[in-house]
Structure 1
């Protein structure tokens, strides 16, 4: 029977091109807004200082250089307006580095609702903040960052600081400290999530705690180390709590709202810097756990990182890290897929509802299922159609996705069947421990058995041989089962008045105790 090739599908939508043009347009709009903010701040300085436009712009530039803050942010600070977001990094052909902190649990919506906008810093507090932030920007490691934080709160009388990274199981691991005795720091190396500590409470709940020693005792918190007052502040980056900072005062001190706002602003800066320092290093929270998860899962699995536009809308996903068996169903493996975007792999994923469904899963916290359905698959000379099934579950600020191409499984089965027919062969498997038996359709043809009767038990295979060959087949199978000796023999099958030679090759699969648990083999008609 001749198979007819179906008519060619229409060309895939130019989704990626449209989105690239949209990003370029957004970048131009953002640049125009930034210019407008700088021009307004320049006009403000001209009016207040009575200087020329050139002198006003030079003032802004000097402030930006001395405070290590972008010019547009300095201008927005003078105007009391929010600066436009920094320009997005344009996509490159090289894969972005793996950042495990993405997959830490983001702040729950209830906590996010309680986090108010930080109070604006003015006067001396703003100047101190900019100086401390510039110092933090030069910190080469977490200990230097803890020292910069301590320097930033020294005028408030604080004596020591501690920085910890939040791990996926709720534990906090010490990564930096300043002013703590070595004996105390050693007690904080890793605080498991089951311990009742203010530090852990702030990290897991995402809300700051300001406690005296007596208040900590009343709440049942362990108060490790000295000090009369302690502030435990969650460290955040892009809406996720990545760690916690603890600041201690040796003597009692009441911090007013303005002082707390200043310390909270410093904690926000510390969170951003600590997240940057921990990327790609051994400090990255439990990166090896994520690798172990991917390595343990069968099939095509990957961590998908959302790609957002300037408004925060998810427009694509990047295959951030792939499991060892990941494939595009054609010729690309784990190494080739890692770093690709979903729309680069499947250009129709937006139109097919896959991108929107995955974004909804992240938003609602519910798994997303898609397919089996037809998608466009890029790669090779031109895009092709593939039958895809997908399941994606929320995993921190990302997704853990598993997918399967049904076309390839079907094709593999068809190829195997064609080979069996061409070679007049088939495969056979016996599960001696579980009792299961599986034969291919070719094995039934070779051995002359009706598939409706099912496969033969291994111990009954010798009955299919002639009376002359049956003892030899029985002895070879006994050696296979009892002594784990591979079998390779030829015998004659006689069924329904006909006889023909058959070749059997069988190998044992041995369990830990040395017993044969399974037998895998092949039969061919000679």
Structure 2
């Protein structure tokens, strides 16, 4: 991916001389990009789904599945998209045999099935227009096309192409979308990579696809296939268009179950409020009543299929269109059993949940539950941590947050502490929890009245408490916080207390450093050297810089930070690189507007707030939303920020930004800027919304997260600064290989002058797994 806003600068092309020329070129480029996207996105969707089939059926890795698909396409002489759809069709359940109406087909006035009607029509057109085969499709609720009648093709062809997903390049969809016939001839001479419906072009080298109209609507399309290669002349075209109008009477769109139209909108509103992955499935039945597929009638936002479609995007699609590999699995059989008997189905936790489950986190396993609701199924995928994983996550969370839980049974006076509480109190676990009278003796005398009042309120009336206090340990004074609530018994009195202790010493030391800085600035009595020393102390307290590169899950990182050259203009630039409890890594950079103590205080609040929310499992874009509301409530500052979460198990980077500059991605010596999601600066508006983007990384890739002091120069174009960074990253990374610390230092030296006018922060990351 690239940073579109800087394409001309990176490509070295001559800029337009006038605003009119620039506007004309921009419009032309956007039109070209839109056409390219419309041509390639459906193909990519098919290829990704075909890779999913290979991974599920053959147990392949994503790379092995991609190579296998390419090899099959080469052997068969097909394009990659054609091979993908051939594979998907081969793994779809067989459609009804010839002579049996498929879902949506109806009998004509003479009692014939739709296939029988199509057979008679094909026989009439064989002599008059040379028609050898006939395919009648109607539009499906998911935007595809369903085969409802056919003649002149064998059962295998009808089965393989019984449902056509919406691919723009297929001639049937071209006819439907353009609302006019598509005439094709001499296909045996080559199709220029265009995918075709049915057999290879040598069988039917001449074809016509004619839309079926009902009033102003296009309800389907009829394919007329000929074995001779010549084009349709005027007489032939008139005949097949008349035949298409006749076919409209024998093909009706698949009808929804009774009551579905009334319940779908209301149900989807309910499903929009669900947090887990949940879908409502309506069975699609054949003529004999057998279930051939399920249609997704409602879906919760956490539901996602193999192509990445989520929530409302799934509504109207069929299950086997979303996940062809699920047919014949225990999950499929369990759903059929529940639909038939009404007995709920529940699978064991699995790494491969199938159909439409919640997020792509490989550390989360899913149990699948299905219950019958009238003529439909409600299927849910509640996430379940692997055995022992939940306890390990809790341990890591307590360690990273420097907090631990404590329970007190008031009836037996029994105390229980988690291991982290012993570390907070510097107490040997062999001694057991500290009795309350001993704990009272550890408190500072001046803290006893507030702590005693809180204990009285908790134990006498069951009021929740949140009280700070200090204790003396062998390592000095510690600032602690106790948060607790009482369990009320049958008689209305507390019978137990549940709470946690948190060590706030580090935050308190930061506050002390800020207070010292405020006093120093207010007095203005110190010389430049003393001011620089104070700035260094404040910097070390709020934003400690590593003295060497450091490792995080799947990453090797280093930081280069340069303050502004002017005296003690302490700024609000910051970075974050933290390992999260679920095995992923949080990366971030930010820049608070202005300099001085207020900027530093805001910087500290944003940095610690972002890390705290990420440790609790909040995704990047939600973190930005909450920080924006916090700044708006204060109304005194604005800031830019970029937050990213990297999961080494999948190689997926997920990021969001609030008005910040893009991430620079370096792979195989070539640097590009990742396309940015939407996101306004923090503190600008209560209505700000933040998008989210993803990218797949691999070992050896590099990422550069930076603030504007690295690339911005007064009186210079920001695009020129980004171009300098891109070129410097390519040159330096090519010279120093895996030495992350040297790469970060040399890139900064190449861009930042000796006496910078603004702070600059560069977080340099190398992917190791």
What's the TM-score once normalised by structure 1's chain length?
0.39
Return the structure number with greater relative CO, CA threshold 8 A, min gap 6: 1
What's the TM-score once normalised by structure 2's chain length?
0.29
